[in-house]
Amino acid sequence: MSLKAKLEAVIYAAEMPVTLDQIVQLVRDSVLQEGAADDGDVRSRVRAALEELSADYTNESHGIEVRQVAGGYRMSTKPEQHDVVRAFAKSLKPPIRLSLPALETLAVIAYKQPVTVPEISEIRGVDSSGVIATLLDRKLISTAGRKAVIGRPILYKTTKEFLLRFGLSNVGELPSMEEFEKLVADSFQSDLLPVEQPPEEKTEGTELAPAESSAAGNDPAA
């Protein structure tokens, strides 16, 4: 079996992106037996085979591609197949459901990380503590230590799951805010939870029911 075929099989079988180091460890002995001079040569041959494999999948006859995502290699569907794959995925399992406040908070964390809840709330103009738990539960963010200020508030950052969800190799590949908003809309738009509307102003002769009133300045439940 050729080295390229081995790499293709490993990347296909891997549930998570497989790193160059992992691949080198897996095929090291066989590549040395095939004539590689040393570990450096093994690494060079593996890298060249990965580049060749990636190039093979750029052909329009393939609906998938080999991409570098979250520090490793994985197979993913090509952007032009997004609609049909999305429809298929929705038929198999419930989508991730996030509220608009949660998406706004996620965007702030992505672009300002590491960042604290008070800093997020200042940027958004409303209390953001309520949606942090939702993002942690979805594994889209994680803690990143504590900030060295009075009170030592917790810092938050995005996770590998975030990179996987948005098809990014690292946070340095984040698009502009305008492009990110479009990406969010394409990825989550049909999955958004309805956001509670604020009550209408009280008019003469009418009263608001207790359930319709809400505390000003707080996010709806995520």
Distance from C-alpha of 143 to C-alpha of 149, rounded to nearest angstrom: 16
What CATH code is carried by the domain that includes residue 139?
A: 1.10.10.10
Which one-letter amino acid corresponds to residue 22? Answer: Q
Neighbour count for residue 182 (Cβ, 10 Å): 12
Taking only the tens of pLDDT, the chain with its 222 residues reads 789 999 999 999 998 999 999 999 999 999 988 888 999 999 999 999 999 999 999 998 999 999 988 889 999 888 898 888 878 876 765 556 778 888 889 989 999 999 999 999 998 888 888 899 989 998 999 999 999 999 899 999 999 988 888 778 888 888 777 777 666 666 555 444 444 444 444 444 434 344 344 444 445 445
Distance of CA 182 to the CA centre of its chain: 15
Distance from C-alpha of 92 to C-alpha of 31, rounded to nearest angstrom: 40
Report the C-alpha dihedral over residues 186, 192, 196, 200, rounded to 10 degrees: 30
Predicted TM-score of the model (pTM)? 0.50
**Which residues form the domain of 24?**
3-89
Q: Is residue 24 part of a domain?
A: yes
**Structural domain count of the chain:** 2
**Nearest residue to 28 (alpha-carbon basis) of 19, 17, 18, 38:** 38
Please say which residue of 46, 64, 89 terminates a domain: 89
Q: Check whether residue 9 and residue 41 sit in a common domain.
A: yes
Q: Check whether residue 75 and residue 22 sit in a common domain.
A: yes
